[in-house]
Structure 1
Amino acid sequence: MFEYMGSRKAYWFYQVGGWSVYFLSDLANNLQFLTFNFDQFDQVIGSMVVNVAAGIAMTHIFRIIFKRYNWVKLPIAQLVLRCLGVVGLITFVLAAINIPIDSDFINTEKMNWAIRDISYIINYVKPVIIWVLVYVFYAYAAERRNADIERVKLEASMKETEAKVLRAQMNPHFVFNALNSIRALITEDPKKASSGITQLSNLLRSSLISNRRKTVSLKEELKTIEDYLSLEKIRYEDRLQTKFDIANDTLKIQVPPMMLQTLVENAIKHGVQKALRWGFVEIRTFIEDNHLAIIIRNTGTLGDNSNSKTSTGFGLENTKRRLHLIYGNQYKFNIFQEDKLTVKAEIWLPLEQHTIE
């Protein structure tokens, strides 16, 4: 009966224990009506064993039918009618078994047969109704729980699939920009171009790994940023100034892979690339109020990099969606114009779920 509550052992424990307790209590309540002597004690015990076995057998058959034909999926009206039919049938069988057996122990000579039969039916219908109600209740509870588990699994699978798609959508933009940087150096400075190929190899390796992982340590992500900026410095030389201010206690914290690379790429494309003389990218991290704070400042104007029709604007939207998939509403992501020449991006990520121990 209670397979939904736990193991098969629990089911049989409640079956045997429940029916035994009921018929023992029924025997105790009817001692005043019994006319047997101690020579018939074995018969009384045998009668109780028969009742326990009959109760277990018939309710177990009901459980088999209930599961095999998936009654839990039936409309309420149909389920109620079927359960009432089962209750009536089991009650009738128990009464039919006990009336002839009890005639040896209970004086029924002065009892009207109709009253006798009704009293037996009333006596046995109560435990049967309770059994059926409890079983149906737990069957419905288990069905709802299983449905909730399947729904959560499906949502998690959909979120993971969406996150992988979003990561895959960002990678082509990053590769395209990196290849452009190397191409510009092939004829001018082969040595620097060779160095750029090494940097690109590291970046591609990080990109491939990121597609198989939901998060990476901030240290790994910063290494990717350093490779990317080193590659861009080959192209921009002194026009690109970088600064890192990284708190040591943030390096092991987990972050979405390639997230910062997207923001830094945005800073280069809409900041340094358009600067008349030089531009800068500054990355700072620290922990505050149980959150990892990542601050990115760069040369540029917000009007240039907020256009959702550009590839970078699309990348920013993807970044927000990825953060939402991982952190729900527990993160903050703001990008705004700090002053006339500087754009500032702030990311606040909760620490509880994504810190490496």
Structure 2
Amino acid sequence: MNTGTTDTLPQAAARPLPRLRRFAIDVALTQVFNIAVALVVTYILRLNDSFVQNLVVSVCIGTMMVSFIDGGRLLLWGQDKPPALPFALLFIAALPSAQLLGNAAASLLLGIPLERLEAVRSKNEIGFYLMFILVCASITWFFWKRSQIEQLKAEAAAEKARAAATERQALQAQLQLLQAQIEPHMLFNTLANLQGLIAVDPQRAQLMLDQLIQYLRATLGTSRAQQATLGQEFALMEAYLGLMQVRMGSRLSFALRLPPELAAQPVPPMLLQPLVENAIKHGLEPKLDGGRLDIDAQRVAGGLVLTVRDDGLGHDENAPTAGTRTGLANVRERLRALYGPQASLDLEPATPHGVRAIMRLPV
């Protein structure tokens, strides 16, 4: 069995459907013109006193006209804008054909000899043909302009799609840049402390180096991914805090609380680390007796709330350890780029002392 052929059959069968739908709509719209023509013939040109007879003739000729012109356009060029010269030739050929075949169909429907129907226009032949050409031109112009409008809409939609794709690419590049800035920020701090430990405590420096290698191996794939799970983020923070605990010893204690139902929740990677690093560097490490750090995740009002709390020195922009807050600035930029106003990062004093960083994300 040729599966490739059978797979394409539904697509081939579905392809004419938009054209048939458009043709049916055009035929229905043409009937409005047909009614108008019957009214003009009956009450203005007075070629025939029977409105019903004039309506049948008008419907037959108008339907033939739209079948030749609009049906031919859809058959040859689809819903795209047709070339001007071939379309003009189609229009010229359709005029006499629609007239002859429309009269023949009306003759059959009304049971009136064809000669009698054709003799009606002799009462005002010039007016009849002028009206016929004018109506045909009006119908053609109407569908031509609508085709142009549809073409412009299609081009606008394509341009909008291209702009959206370009915007997504620019956004992705921005996120990768901001994410890349976080990693050296963490590494510089850790390596600086490792350098200091080598001289005073080589054994502890070796343990710290081992923990750093283990942490980097764990983060190698996640830090380059576009998305991680909350469980992966908490596992990375546990590895990172283990590394920091080697450096700070008993001065650092921590706890991570992640409800099991939130472990598979997708989140952007490396969002928590700048908050944890900031809490240690600016809150706990400068404090003589160190302190405790808690990381919590919970679902609140249909959103995700991540909290990093320390009982360190507190938030002071003028403190010597305040730093440049590069990590926090990057987190805010990433949240803005990914979620706009739906996400936020706030710092507030903790009780009795310390800082609490609260990150709110849409689920």
Coarse TM-score class (shorter-chain normalised): 0.7 to 0.9
Could you say which residue in structure 1 is the equivalent of 2:67? 52
Provide the rounded CA distance (Å) in 1 between the counterparts of 2:261 and 2:181.
31
Amino acid corresponding to residue 170 of structure 1 in structure 2: I
- Report the CA distance between 1:290 and its aligned residue: 1.8
Could you say which residue in structure 2 is the equivalent of 1:95? 95
1:229 aligns with 2:256: no
Provide the rounded CA distance (Å) in 2 between the counterparts of 1:241 and 1:100.
96
Cα distance change, pair 20–316 in 1 and its aligned pair in 2 (3 A): closer
1:300 aligns with 2:334: no
Contact map agreement 2:237 2:273 (CA 8 A) in 1: yes
Cα distance change, pair 57–305 in 1 and its aligned pair in 2 (3 A): farther
- 1:333 corresponds, among 309, 324, 345, to 345
Provide the rounded CA distance (Å) in 2 between the counterparts of 1:127 and 1:235.
83
Could you say which residue in structure 2 is the equivalent of 1:145? 157
Contact map agreement 2:286 2:321 (CA 8 A) in 1: no
Cα distance change, pair 50–316 in 1 and its aligned pair in 2 (3 A): closer
Provide the rounded CA distance (Å) in 2 between the counterparts of 1:95 and 1:207.
74
Could you say which residue in structure 2 is the equivalent of 1:181? 193
1:342 aligns with 2:360: no
CA RMSD of superposed structures (Å): 4.0
Amino acid corresponding to residue 310 of structure 1 in structure 2: G
Could you say which residue in structure 1 is the equivalent of 2:232? 220
Deviations 1:86-140 (A, max 9, x none): 9988665533545677696611573343213112113423432342243233223
1:199 aligns with 2:211: yes
Contact map agreement 1:62 1:86 (CA 8 A) in 2: no
The 5 Å alignment of 1:7-156 reads 8-14=15-21, 17=24, 32=53, 52-53=67-68, 55-57=70-72, 66=81, 93-98=93-98, 106-107=118-119, 110-156=122-168
Amino acid corresponding to residue 94 of structure 1 in structure 2: A
Provide the rounded CA distance (Å) in 1 between the counterparts of 2:87 and 2:52.
27
Provide the rounded CA distance (Å) in 1 between the counterparts of 2:258 and 2:139.
70
Deviations 1:305-341 (A, max 9, x none): 8999934x12111101111222222223210222573
Contact map agreement 1:301 1:340 (CA 8 A) in 2: no
Deviations 1:173-225 (A, max 9, x none): 11112223333444555554343233222332344324432331122111211
Contact map agreement 1:91 1:121 (CA 8 A) in 2: no
Amino acid corresponding to residue 335 of structure 1 in structure 2: L
Q: Which moved more, 1:183-192 or 1:293-302?
A: 183-192
- Which ranges of structure 2 fall in alignment gaps of 5 or more residues? 1-13, 39-50, 104-113
Provide the rounded CA distance (Å) in 1 between the counterparts of 2:92 and 2:295.
80
- 2:277 corresponds, among 249, 260, 265, to 265
Could you say which residue in structure 1 is the equivalent of 2:11? none
> TM-score, normalised on structure 1?
0.72
Provide the rounded CA distance (Å) in 1 between the counterparts of 2:99 and 2:288.
105
Cα distance change, pair 93–263 in 1 and its aligned pair in 2 (3 A): same
Provide the rounded CA distance (Å) in 1 between the counterparts of 2:321 and 2:127.
84
- Report the CA distance between 1:15 and its aligned residue: 6.5
Cα distance change, pair 175–67 in 1 and its aligned pair in 2 (3 A): farther
Cα distance change, pair 13–244 in 1 and its aligned pair in 2 (3 A): closer
- 1:310 corresponds, among 294, 308, 323, to 323
Report how many residues are paired: 317
Provide the rounded CA distance (Å) in 2 between the counterparts of 1:94 and 1:307.
87
Cα distance change, pair 99–233 in 1 and its aligned pair in 2 (3 A): closer
